[in-house]
Structure 1
Amino acid sequence: MERVDLLPPPTGADSRDDVARRADAHAAVPLLNCLLREVAEPLPGPGARPVYRLPGGRLLRVRRGRRPAEPEVRTANGWHRVDHAELVKLVAEALRRHTGVPNHELPTEMTDSRDTVAALLTARARATPPADPYLRSEQSLLTGHTHHPAPKARGGGPHAGWLPYAPEAYARFPLTLLAVREDTVVDEGDTAALDALGKAPPGYRLLPAHPWQLELTAPALAPAFADGRLVRVGTTGFFAWPTAAIRTVYAPEYLPGQDLFLKFSLDVRVTNDIRRLWRHDLMRLRRTDTAVTEAFASVGPPAAWLGDRGHRTADFAFEELAVVVRDGLRDHLLPDATPFLAAALVEGFPGSPLTATADPVAWWEAYLCAVVPPVLTAFADDGVVLEAHLQNTLVAVDATGMPVQALFRDAEGVKLLPDTPRAAGWERLVYCLVVNHLYEIAAALTEHHPGLDPWPAVRRELARHDLPEVPALLAAPTLPAKTNLLLRWTGADGADARYRPLANPLRGA
């Protein structure tokens, strides 16, 4: 089975100009969101184009909205529209003045992110989106993280190297099957599904690999292939679909009637981190997943946890070749329900139930009823801090498009009390659930359904839970907003979350 290659087709000058304009617009949204939230000073004044003062004194104005657009800077001759390249220079200068430190790497990533969007737009023009609405939602994120300076950067390599594996280009591909010499295998938890993917030679165990990761790590793995510790045994007889996380793939039919997610290492920086399965994370994966599984057993249906039930790798390439086996959807999904990635509801895509609903008030209340209780109950009863942000949450709807179930994933991002202090765990929960997730869904919903005030319903849903932190949350003047721009500019570790205050819409709602 051949992989599906999605390389940019030849285009004329007009098409290239159109792609360039659209790529600039997509890439400017999250960069402006970061700049305005983290370092710009809003100036008083009415109008649809608010004005901000940047560090150093330059004035910037943008078109108002959850997707700020059309950035302009004040010059001696009036307002001057800036393209993405000029915006990157503007942001870099503002950050250098704000922090007092230079950074030559992040502006390159910002440019790479914009160029990635351009390549994706071109590739999508000749590709066919998946028929499955769930897969379509996973592969819809052209803009991506709404508050990250370079959400689409792919390491700066040639487009031909990563486009065949890009979810946003509607990619699908078979996985490479390796055989690992049995005495070098590291196996923990339930990895039986991996043995069903093919047949390993005697004395070997089967290990699926992401083909992009094999290309990235080829020099390091060459000795193992040469001495027989690693053997190539073909490819899977099915296509895997990359999800929004890029390194995690979905196999809807790895066996007849059975589905599966597989999470791989990928030696590429995506948003804040190199997306390797790090040894220290793998070593605590079983304990974390067990704690979350037990918490969800207490929470009860319809809420569901997609368990990371085991991992397998080779001791000589522990991180490079690691793969995590994750539950598929079928055993957890309510009958006749259709799941969607929460982040896709914010991005927007054909068939989104958020835009289609005729009763946004009832839809929003049903959404909150599905998403909020499992997160707060797991924290209150079992000390589990779910990373319930938009990319880790799936929301299933019934035949009418009404939310009926939330499914959560990714044990790597989960924190457990008391390993994490309660106050720090609560702050992370509030950021992931309220700021990263509900804040963005609410903004998208009100954009499509003007006149809706989403926050009284959020306040009511939170107040139903007997947690000592909830009253303070509802009364607080601010919420914690992660500073991804400053985090990346100062070179902080991706896991070292830093927050700045964001006005709390729950207060007095």
Structure 2
Amino acid sequence: MHRPRATEAEFADELAVVRPDLAARYAAELPGARAAVLSRLWRGLTHEPLPWVVAREAGREGLTLRLADGRRLHGPHPDPYATAAQVTVVRLDGTPYDRPAHLMTGLGVPHGTEFAAELDDSVASLALSRATQEPRPTTWPVHDWEWEQRVVDGHPFHPNCRSRPGFSVAEQLAYGPEHRPVVRLGLVPVPAAECLVTGEWPEDLRDGERLLLPVHPWQAEHVLKRSASEGLDAHPLMSLRTLAVTGERHVKTALSARLTSSVRDISVYSIGVSATLSGFAETLADRMDGLLHFTRTLGAATANSPDLAAVLRESPQVHGDRVLPVAALATTDLPHSAAWLAEFARLALTVGLRLLELGVALEAHGQNLLVVLDQEGAPVRLVYRDLADIRISPARLARHGIPVPELSGRVVTDDVTTLRRKLFGSLVAGALAGTAGSAAALRGALESAVRDLPRTPDLIALLEQPLPAKALTLMRLSPGTPGDQWTQLPNPLR
């Protein structure tokens, strides 16, 4: 049932075959899913530097975008930090659109057709994700992966929040964390002499002179085109390609599929630097007064291919029983308290800015950043996982007398703009904004959190300059432009 794309109707047809009991719930969830994706898309259209938007005009009745061809696109005043679906319809020269894919097709902009297909898939996948949900349990989860399964809607601001092109309905139900499956990872034997290995590869994943590389079943079928012996029962985490297995381990598998923005795999470069980054992170944690821990990379291996590789990490749960991804906070009652949100923002900014001053910018979005709570639910420390996309400044490290690790490539930069974008875009415009859920709530939390923080140049930039955020819609409409592209959001503190 593999196919390159799926529409709402195609999802319904397949669902009628594989899970007819979900058909009615799926249909009922479609309007809400359309509004959720349209709200994210409208945020991108109104705040990103799209070349075919020549002016944005605010009025009493909303916001109007003047397009390069003379047409006008009108919708409500956008809150760039809102996570609830606020937009149900926008009008292009008076014609109403309530489906994001139809709007993108109607705009007729370069690469819009491909993006429209992804938006269609995002809506259908989101409706499917919501259709399988049960009432939220009232008890505290026992396993860390249970928190990950509670995050149903995906990325809080990306129009492709649930886009999984290349995954059939049956495959989404079998592999998507929000559907709560158990996934049987395959094990592919590869001669150890043909592999790049860093860290310690465990004995239970060896067979004599061969390494047994955990492989996601979707990857085995669609990319590797080979069968793999059954190996590990695993619970998928938010990223879908990382799964929790027994023994307090997480396995990051190569999964060469496009999820939200990027085609996911595990580069040979990231395998090569993984042990060095993990060791370096442990030395940083010693300077954080117990406020930050990093999950250790236990071992990483690749058969010299980004399509056949795996990274083994310790579970964040080794740092406490009450540890959960920041993205999962929205599934609790905690962020609804202004005092709690301010306390969490103070902790997150204290850690993020102190580390940035030392010379390390975290990619601290709601998936990579976790928070440890005490028995009363107060945030006491943070845990960070997945070091592959951090940025390290040798100049800043040297200024603070920290030995510079032997690293090269994309993680190394002294560029101030790059460092601040990495942290502010992920932590403030991402994790904190997604937890707050609105500009007003984010403003209140930040105003309280920054009062007692050291007035470093980085903090002053955060207080006084527009807030950087990834231009997620522009990136999907610019397939020929590699790397991240950025926009500037209104500073919630100004």
In the alignment, structure 1 residue 234 sits paired with structure 2 residue 217: no
Match for residue 353 of structure 1?
Answer: 334
Q: Is the 8 A contact 1:393 1:409 kept in 2?
A: yes
| CA 1:366–1:161: 2 relative to 1, 3 Å | same
SS at match of 1:215: helix
Q: Is the 8 A contact 1:27 1:143 kept in 2?
A: no
Give a deviation string over 1:364-415, Cα, whole Å, max 9, x none: 232123322222222222x111111122111122222211121111111111
Counterpart selection for 2:343 from 348, 362, 366: 366
| CA 1:306–1:344: 2 relative to 1, 3 Å | same
| CA 1:186–1:473: 2 relative to 1, 3 Å | closer
In the alignment, structure 1 residue 51 sits paired with structure 2 residue 63: yes
Cα displacement (A) at 1:501? 2.2
Match for residue 196 of structure 1?
Answer: 204
Cα displacement (A) at 1:82? 2.3
Cα displacement (A) at 1:486? 0.9
In the alignment, structure 1 residue 165 sits paired with structure 2 residue 175: yes
Alignment: residue pair count: 450
In the alignment, structure 1 residue 397 sits paired with structure 2 residue 403: no
Give a deviation string over 1:10-55, Cα, whole Å, max 9, x none: 15875453132233233223222212222565533346xx232242
Residue 460 of structure 1 aligns with an amino acid whose one-letter code is R
SS at match of 1:104: helix
In the alignment, structure 1 residue 475 sits paired with structure 2 residue 475: no
Residue 479 of structure 2 aligns with an amino acid whose one-letter code is G
Match for residue 379 of structure 1?
Answer: 356
SS at match of 2:117: helix
* TM alignment of 1:174-193, pairs within 5 A: 174-192=184-202
In the alignment, structure 1 residue 457 sits paired with structure 2 residue 448: yes
Cα displacement (A) at 1:233? 4.5
Give a deviation string over 1:404-455, Cα, whole Å, max 9, x none: 12111111111111331231212322222222222332335966x9xx8223
Cα displacement (A) at 1:63? 7.4
Q: TM-score, normalized by length of structure 2? A: 0.82
User: Over the residues paired in the alignment, what is the CA RMSD in angstroms?
Assistant: 3.1
> After alignment, is 63-72 or 128-137 more displaced?
128-137
Residue 116 of structure 1 aligns with an amino acid whose one-letter code is S
Q: Is the 8 A contact 2:65 2:72 kept in 1?
A: yes
Match for residue 3 of structure 1?
Answer: none
Match for residue 275 of structure 2?
Answer: 286
Q: Is the 8 A contact 2:104 2:115 kept in 1?
A: no
Residue 360 of structure 2 aligns with an amino acid whose one-letter code is V
Q: Is the 8 A contact 1:376 1:465 kept in 2?
A: no
Q: TM-score, normalized by length of structure 1? A: 0.79
Match for residue 479 of structure 2?
Answer: 491
Counterpart selection for 1:89 from 96, 105, 112: 105
Cα displacement (A) at 1:324? 0.6
CA–CA distance in structure 2, aligned partners of residues 203 and 453 of structure 1: 58
CA–CA distance in structure 2, aligned partners of residues 261 and 80 of structure 1: 46
Match for residue 228 of structure 1?
Answer: none
Cα displacement (A) at 1:266? 0.4
Match for residue 113 of structure 1?
Answer: 122
Cα displacement (A) at 1:205? 2.9
* TM alignment of 1:48-447, pairs within 5 A: 50-55=62-67, 56-62=70-76, 66=82, 67=84, 68-73=86-91, 80=96, 82-90=98-106, 92-93=107-108, 96=109, 101-124=110-133, 131-132=141-142, 134-192=144-202, 195-196=203-204, 200-219=206-225, 222=226, 232-236=228-232, 239-251=233-245, 254-255=246-247, 259-315=248-304, 318-333=305-320, 337-345=321-329, 348-349=330-331, 351-355=332-336, 357=337, 360-361=338-339, 363-381=340-358, 383-418=359-394, 419-423=412-416, 424-443=418-437
SS at match of 1:300: coil
Identity of aligned residues (%): 24
| CA 1:15–1:160: 2 relative to 1, 3 Å | closer
SS at match of 1:149: coil
Gaps of 5+ in 2: 1-14, 395-411
CA–CA distance in structure 2, aligned partners of residues 374 and 354 of structure 1: 19
Cα displacement (A) at 1:246? 1.0
Q: Is the 8 A contact 1:389 1:432 kept in 2?
A: yes
| CA 1:242–1:444: 2 relative to 1, 3 Å | farther
Residue 438 of structure 1 aligns with an amino acid whose one-letter code is L
Residue 502 of structure 1 aligns with an amino acid whose one-letter code is L
CA–CA distance in structure 2, aligned partners of residues 123 and 12 of structure 1: 7
Cα displacement (A) at 1:493? 4.9
> After alignment, is 143-152 or 119-128 more displaced?
119-128
Q: Is the 8 A contact 2:198 2:274 kept in 1?
A: no
Q: Is the 8 A contact 1:296 1:305 kept in 2?
A: yes
> After alignment, is 483-492 or 498-507 more displaced?
498-507
| CA 1:406–1:493: 2 relative to 1, 3 Å | farther
